[in-house]
Structure 1
Amino acid sequence: MASYNRVVLVGNLTRDPELRYIPSGAAVSEIGLAVNDRVKKGDQWVDETTFVDVTLWSRTAEVANEYLTKGSSVLIEGRLKLDTWEKDGQKRSKLRVVADKMQMLSGRSGGGGPSGGGGGSHRSRSSDDAYGAPSDSYSQSGPVAPPDDDIPF
């Protein structure tokens, strides 16, 4: 049986990134992401917000800590991971996203919207070779916007 575990999310940070280093020296950062969806309830469209915890590793974690703040808009590509543990005799679990790629969508000043300027793209070290050199698919360019006449809405 085949399986596929990929997630792509666009949202805003709910808090500043929390950077720390594990004993091996690798950087890890935890961010909270608020992702909005519009659903129709009766005659009205209503915004529903989903809050997602995201883990960033290596240089991606350091870049997030340096450039992102609460409210920053970001695109995250990664995979779902289920954490399970036991606390006070009760089994607990939490679903989170482990990011492989992060694209900053707002400028350095933080939570801008469409006029927030371009950002950068950063991949985790997992996409780099053994010497830390980026793979061929590594991209540092900003987002590419389609021409205005190609926008489907």
Structure 2
Amino acid sequence: MARGFSKAIITGNVVRDPELRATSGGTQVCSFSVAVNYNYVQNGEKKEQVSYINCSAWGKAGEIIAQYAKKGTGILVSGRLSQRAFEDKTGAKRSATEIVVEDFNFLGGTSEGASSRSYASTSSDESADIIPDDIPDEPIDLSEVPF
């Protein structure tokens, strides 16, 4: 039996403050969009294209993103692509593609001076989230990193 593979990795800035909500079963899910810039040259002229990628993070990962990410926050997101079809309020058929977040890193510092932090989850099942519990509250001195 053939199996498919779906993996997307993007980096950009959060477009607007993430929205955290709970499903009817009580699982937390955070929805947000990331602006990804693509620079290219066409006919000798530099141009830029911006794509807005929808993302959803489940469980503890979603709670962390909702708590710490704001509009403009740099983020690297890794996850699987998910596509769904639905009917809008007018009855028109629509579709949406998004990244279901499996791993993410906040990029750059925040106004409080926090460093880049990495988080990972193995599935959308809240009990399977892997969140480090030893993240220091103070900034990390990168001059101490041996590489």
TM interval, short-chain normalised: 0.7 to 0.9
Which residue number in structure 2 is paired with residue 59 of structure 1? 60
- RMSD, matched Cα: 3.2
Work out whether residues 80 and 97 of structure 1, in 8 Å CA contact, stay in contact via their aligned partners in 2.
yes
Q: How many residues align?
A: 137
* Cα distance change, pair 72–62 in 1 and its aligned pair in 2 (3 A): same
* Cα distance change, pair 134–55 in 1 and its aligned pair in 2 (3 A): closer
Work out whether residues 127 and 134 of structure 1, in 8 Å CA contact, stay in contact via their aligned partners in 2.
no
* Cα distance change, pair 125–23 in 1 and its aligned pair in 2 (3 A): farther
Identity %: 28
> What CA deviation, in whole Å up to 9, does each residue of 1:35-82 have, x standing for no partner?
001111110221110011100111111111111110000000001111
CA distance, structure 1, for counterparts of residue 15 and residue 84 of structure 2: 21
Query: Could you state the TM-score of these two structures normalised by the residue count of structure 1?
Result: 0.75
Work out whether residues 74 and 104 of structure 1, in 8 Å CA contact, stay in contact via their aligned partners in 2.
yes
The residue matched to 1:76 in structure 2 has which SS? strand
1:7 equivalent to 2:8? Answer yes
CA distance, structure 2, for counterparts of residue 55 and residue 22 of structure 1: 13
The residue matched to 1:62 in structure 2 has which SS? helix
The residue matched to 2:83 in structure 1 has which SS? strand
Gaps of 5+ in 2: 143-147
Aligned partner of 1:118 among 115, 118, 121: 115
The residue matched to 2:63 in structure 1 has which SS? helix
Work out whether residues 105 and 119 of structure 1, in 8 Å CA contact, stay in contact via their aligned partners in 2.
yes
Query: Could you state the TM-score of these two structures normalised by the residue count of structure 2?
Result: 0.78
Q: CA deviation at 1:89?
A: 3.0
